[in-house]
Amino acid sequence: MSDLVRPPPASANDPAIEVEKLQCGYEGKVVLKNVSFRVARGEIFFIIGGSGCGKSTLLRHLVGLNQPTAGSVKFFGRSFADANTAARREVLKTFGMLFQGGALWTSLTLRQNVALPLEEYTALSAREIEEIATLKLAQVGLGGFEDYYPAEISGGMKKRAGLARALALDPEIVFFDEPSAGLDPVTSRKLDELILQIRETFGTTIVVVSHELASIFDIADRVIMLDRAHQGIIAEGKPRELARGSRDPRVAEFLRRGDVLPQ
């Protein structure tokens, strides 16, 4: 698939994502400031925190849906904000995005939904696009549902269909915005297992916005925790180590709540 351009392999040690002193906000209001972190290649990295702390805001700024008011975001050493239109288009090919609810087009079948990024970013034939879309649906356990419409499937299946679309271009990075929202615990666990499978099979870098402790403890390699009052990062590290050892009461309260306790 020569149409799918990948970033130059500058160094295996280069981070997949590098964020430096990022400031995020809307209409002159600062939501996050001085946010800096790195995500390694092949890492499952969670952005966590309570409601209103800026998790989804940060994600929207990372993927270019909103422009930061200061700071930089680099993918594999390349700046996204400073890139021209052609270069930005190439960067967009390197990552996929699963929005809350799947964000599927209701008037299109699942196969047609998955085909959209292939139609937008490649010169593949209609037959090739159909074959790839069918394959991607099979990879997320939706083989046989290609001609179904979103209204005809469950919430968990919609999430998986959205993931198939996010994987259509064989991205280096996949972003997830609250993937477990609205799912029952069993379906949520299956989605976590699918995320692990994608990383293990393809070496994909995964970035997840979530407040779900089960997912955080089960699949996250590292996390950053945001705080609304602080307007930035108050903790970074392995979630189990933070839950056991953090002296910050905000971190302890968040990670030790409920019945989900680290072993």
Segments forming the whole domain that contains residue 211 = 44-63+96-255
Sign for the pseudo-dihedral over CA of 157, 159, 164, 170: negative
Helix, strand and coil percent figures for the chain, each rounded to 5: 35, 25, 40
Three-state SS for 193? helix
Tokens 């290609």 belong to 146
Q: What is the residue-averaged pLDDT of the chain?
A: 89
pLDDT of residue 103: 83
Q: Minimum mean pLDDT among 7-11, 87-91, 93-97, 197-201: which range? A: 7-11
The CATH number given to whatever domain includes residue 235 is 3.40.50.300
What pLDDT is recorded for position 263? 55
> Is 76 inside any structural domain?
no
Segment 65-78 shows an average pLDDT of 89
What would the mean pLDDT of 239-263 be, rounded to a whole number?
Answer: 83
Name the CA radius of gyration of the chain, rounded.
Answer: 18
Contact between 190 and 179 under an 8 Å Cβ cutoff? The reply is no
Instruction: Specify the pLDDT at position 2.
Output: 34
- Strands of 159-248, DSSP E: 173-177, 205-209, 222-227, 232-237
Which tens digits make up the pLDDT trace of 110-151? 999 999 999 998 999 999 999 999 999 999 999 999 999 999
Whether residue 20 lies inside any domain: the answer is no
Q: How many domains does the chain have?
A: 1
204: tokens are 């994909």
pLDDT higher than 90, residue 8: no
Cα–Cα dist 71/229, whole Å: 20
Residue in 5, 163, 165 with CA at minimum distance from that of residue 76: 5
The pTM score is 0.88
Across 216-235, average pLDDT: 96
